[in-house]
Chain A
């Protein structure tokens, strides 16, 4: 029984990281993904801010799930999410003004990130707090991975740096379009291409005779 529940928890956790990755599989929350992923630091900070909001609000939504009548649940979720977004807004200002300025309005816009409301409605409101938070943590790690994958590639190509450290020396001519909006779409498209190619190969392997075991 214990093994089973552990396996289930692990499954909940991995759901967001791989099978239902919010960026590469569900393609949710694209607004911050495209807008702030111009550098690895911005992408990571945005991911961590979203992680904090997602985990805390899913925890609270789950705690209150038996108390909140169906009619006012969306209003309640939004108030809870907005609370944690405000908290994260203050915390980022206290930690680093540079990151706060770089992320700009996208911190406040976490309120309307569909991953968070989606998780609150689809998962946290139906599961106990621990399970909800584990699932939220997995989802947000998946989101951080997605953001970082975009941010790192765009920063390396568009500025020749990673975490602000120059990679190619002073003679590198930055591929500027990569840090502009079109670059976000190009890099996202490339990642989605890679992921669907991987998925297809896996499906082909599963379909092949004798290949389906234990995958």
Chain B
């Protein structure tokens, strides 16, 4: 069906014309890319902010507004301005009256397929984890991804104990993932049978992040009680 094309006699194209063509095409393409980037930047940033807010509000149901903070070796302070190396980011959620509803932070650990990134909610009142949500996960559909649907597993995170020790230097009891049905302590997590690796990743992500963040948070928690105007 295609029409035959007359064969063109082979002749060398001058190098300058090759460079000119490539230069022209690249310039046009560059302009298109920059235009698209500029045009979508605001919408994409708003989308990312919304997605983060949605996850924070999910793990802290009472939350109505949130603020981003960071924990530095010198103490905690609102995020923004320059970022200190080694600072830990966390989100402070407030209820409708502007009173502290909970704190959310990200944790990550190696799962079955790839790193499982979660966001967990922490309540300073009970010093416990009150829920978690997925930020990114490539776990096997139907097996590893049960961590966000399995009711028995989610029940672990209604009040997962993460109290600090007397010196406020680390968790009093490490968060541990145990075999399904053998949970006896408030800081233990009952794994999902068949999805042990992913369950462990959730436990490890919470433990690793809480061990670092909570000791820094504890002395200054008073600063966070009320939303700053």
Contact = CB atoms under 8 A, between A and B. Distances in A.
B21 A90 contact: no
Given A75-B22, A83-B29, A176 B143 contact: yes
Interface of B: 1-2, 5, 13, 17-18, 21-22, 24-26, 28-29, 32-33, 36-37, 39-40, 43-44, 47-48, 51, 136, 140-143
B21 A97 contact: no
Given A79-B29, A94-B40, A179 B18 contact: no
A90 B25 contact: no
A97 B28 CA distance: 28
B106 to A, nearest CB: 15
Contact of B142 (A90, A95, A176): A176
Main secondary structure of the interface of A (DSSP, over half): helix
A82 to B, nearest CB: 8
Given A38-B141, A87-B32, A180-B140, A11 B1 contact: yes
Contact of A94 (B21, B44, B141): B44
Given A72-B22, A90-B37, 10 more contacts: A38-B141, A70-B13, A76-B22, A80-B29, A87-B32, A90-B40, A94-B44, A95-B43, A97-B51, A176-B142
B205 to A, nearest CB: 18
Contacts of B17: 69
B136 A101 contact: yes
Contacts of A180: 140-142
B58 to A, nearest CB: 14
Q: Which 6 A-B pairs have the closest CB atoms?
A: A176-B142, A94-B43, A83-B29, A94-B40, A87-B36, A69-B13
Contact of A72 (B2, B18, B51, B141): B18
A187 B24 CA distance: 45
Given A68-B25, A79-B29, A176-B142, A91 B18 contact: no
Contacts of A69: 13, 17-18, 21
Contacts of B136: 101
A32 interface: no
Interface in A43-80: 60, 64, 67-72, 75-76, 79-80
Contacts of A84: 32
Main secondary structure of the interface of B (DSSP, over half): helix
Interface bracket on A: 35 or more
Nearest to B52: A97
B48 A97 contact: yes
A71 B19 CA distance: 11
A68 B21 contact: yes
A86 B21 contact: no
A187 B140 CA distance: 19
B47 A97 contact: yes
Contacts of B37: 90
Contacts of A2: none
Contact of A90 (B5, B36, B48): B36
A126 interface: yes
5 contacts: A70-B13, A80-B29, A93-B44, A97-B51, A126-B5
Interface centre among B5, B25, B51, B140 (most CB of A within 10 A): B25
A11 B1 CA distance: 10
A72 B21 contact: yes
A76 B33 contact: no
A70 B10 CA distance: 10
B21 A91 contact: no
A158 interface: yes
A29 interface: no
Nearest to B51: A97
Given A90-B44, A97-B51, A83 B141 contact: no
A19 to B, nearest CB: 10
A76 B32 contact: no
